[in-house]
Amino acid sequence: MRTQWESHLQNLGEWHGSFTRLSPQGQQLEDIPSILILEQLNDKQQARLTLRRFRENLPVNELVYEYSSIERNLLFFENGAFSRGALRWGAYSEFWAEFGLIEANRRLRMVQQYNRDSQLRALTLIRERLVGTDTPEGPQLTFEQLLGEWEGKAITIYPELQGASNSEAESPHSYPTKLKIEYQGNNHLVQQLTFETGTSARTITSTARIDGSILHFEHSPLPTQVLLLPDGASCNCPLEIKPGSVFVLELGWLLQPNKRQRLIRTYSDQGEWLSLTFVEEYKL
């Protein structure tokens, strides 16, 4: 099993792409070309991240960050997928999370930001490819592409993994998943998610109203939306966070018509970050 540091090194390289700023409804506000370079220093014991963003008619914005350890709010999977963000949600404070998925020479990242009233404020979709490669982007995601039955495997890791030496948290929790999405007519679809934990299985059923490229899950404890975005991306998060409700933030990526990955960051009803889950699933 790779350490967190070794897993993070799966992202090494020079990544060219763009930061696309979106409204909470998924409307594009700005697209900023970018170059991100992650390189090793001092015999793999340190790393340097250099980010350059190229806004039109403005000087290049450059950020350089050198480090030798992984922050507490950041977790990696062995394939390099990661998420970082607030360790805890609290009323009257800004709240955010970043997600990163990686597949061969491509990466898909997303930043979700909430204002001090706990309302979704802004989104940033980041699409990148390794320099020298020309893998084309996928098309805009549609709900029709998600219809059907999906089966896969989930791996959940926990914040205690950071700095742990010999604890249960060091062992990822793996379990099979099933997802069934059906169109019900009248611009509605039904989603059934089943996951097994130990000897039992749990199924969660929810209904969404389709509004163009937005799926509204209005009957959830916290009204939630899924935005269908370019390059096969999807963004799942509550419109507003309220105390007393468990909630999740999620990035999805349709890599092929029958292959999808998802990253899910789960928070407790007290606003504490509980876990990070990576799902890879295939359409039957």
pLDDT 10s digits, 94-115: 899 999 999 999 999 999 999 9
The pLDDT tens digits of the residues spanning 150-190 come to 999 999 999 986 654 434 444 789 999 999 999 999 999 99
CATH of residue 96? 2.40.128.20
What's residue 200's pLDDT? 75
pLDDT of residue 160: 82
pLDDT interval class at 44 (50, 70, 90): confident
Q: What is the mean pLDDT of residues 248-252?
A: 98
**161 vs 238, which has greater pLDDT?**
238
Per-residue model confidence (pLDDT) at position 1: 84
Q: Are 278 and 154 in contact (CB under 8 A)?
A: yes
Asked whether residue 8 carries a pLDDT value surpassing 60, the answer given is yes
- Which pLDDT score, from 0 to 100, does residue 161 have? 65
Q: What is the pLDDT of residue 92?
A: 84
User: Is 0.75 surpassed by the pTM of this model?
Assistant: yes
Given pLDDT bands bounded at 50, 70 and 90, which one contains residue 220? confident
User: Which residues form the domain of 253?
Assistant: 4-283
pLDDT > 80? residue 282: yes
Per the structure, the count of domains in the chain is 1
